[in-house]
Amino acid sequence: MRAHSLIAFSVLMQAAAEAFLSGRISSGDSLRFSLLAFLGCTLLFLTAGRTSRTRSSGSAEISSGHHVWRSFAVLNVASAVTFLGLYVALVWVPAAFAASLMAGIGPLAASTLARLSGETQPAASWVRSVGLFVASVLTAAAVQPSLLDTSSWQSGPATSAVGACLALLAGIGATVLARLSRRLGKQGIAPSVVMAHRFHLTYVLAALALTNDQLAEPPRLGWGVTALVAFGGVVIPLYALQIGAQRTAAPVTMALLATQPGLAYLVQGALGHPLTVPGTVAVALLLLVATAVVRVEHRLPRTRAVTAPELSQESDGAASTRGL
């Protein structure tokens, strides 16, 4: 359960940062936040890795096969899609709606990707995934009833649809991240090495977007506050999430992440945001459903048919990591 605790800690920290930033930032702040958070992650773990044994053993493993480098390339793309997709979506749709779509689609995407990879997926897993997605959207509607009135949104129907699609795409990207993290963990890649190499595309795109005046609105937060929240709300929790995700099946990880919008709502209440009875009840039900899904999915065996070439590759990989 230690891995689950790390993921839960990460979700709570990210929810707290999201609650603090909600209503306080412009799109320019979001891009600056992304730049500081993900460039900070990269520099911190690159520097730490140079003085640790984990870094040297991890580098040896990365150079042992092109398939590992391909995984890191996909990891960079998925990270950029996940985080920048969500932050851009927040420009066009309310935060509660975007976060609920992103978190809710995760378990369903995990089941779909598992099925496409040849893993056995009981029918009950699909029912749980769909149920958690529906619960997430209903929770968003209960927490913020104005979500149902799209005329109150800051953008028109077309851009609102784009924002919703970006949020869904971010959720699918997060699922890919969970699966790749699990695979790299099995290959013996240390979480600190993954953290040092997974965000290159994210901070580069954030820096490029800052040059676009339409995306980078005038800042509302100072660099100091932005850096502090980025470190406490992204760097630390994402490292904890990386460790937990590398030791946990993707459906379990995504079910835990589905609680983030509800936790953000409760943290907002602790910060003085008014809570409603329907919203609080909906969040409580969402947390109960997600917890039940986690407990059930954790007990399920993860099996899939392995072809002869795959078996040979797995044997080679096991041999290369036996000494780690």
pLDDT at 289 over 50: yes
Give, in order, the Cα–Cα distances in Å from 263 to each of 3, 9, 89, 177, 283: 19, 11, 20, 21, 8
The two structure tokens encoding residue 166: 């970006």
Contact 46, 258 (CB under 8 A): no
Among 49-63, 154-168, 185-199, the least confident range: 49-63
Is the pLDDT score of 168 beyond 50? yes
Given a cut of 50, is residue 99 above it in pLDDT? yes
| One-letter amino acid for residue 38 of the chain | F
CA distance to 35, 114, 129, 198, per residue, from 55 (Å): 24, 30, 37, 15
Among 10-19, 27-36, 116-125, which is the least confidently predicted range? 116-125
Neighbours of 306 (CB within 10 A): 12
* Distance, CA of 293 to CA of 128 (rounded, Å): 7
Which pLDDT score, from 0 to 100, does residue 70 have?
Answer: 85
Max CA separation in the chain (angstroms) = 60
Tens digit of each residue's pLDDT (9 = 90 or more) over 213-253:
666 666 677 888 888 988 998 899 989 998 988 888 878 88
CA distance 72 to 199: 10
Task: Say if residue 42's pLDDT is above 90.
Answer: yes
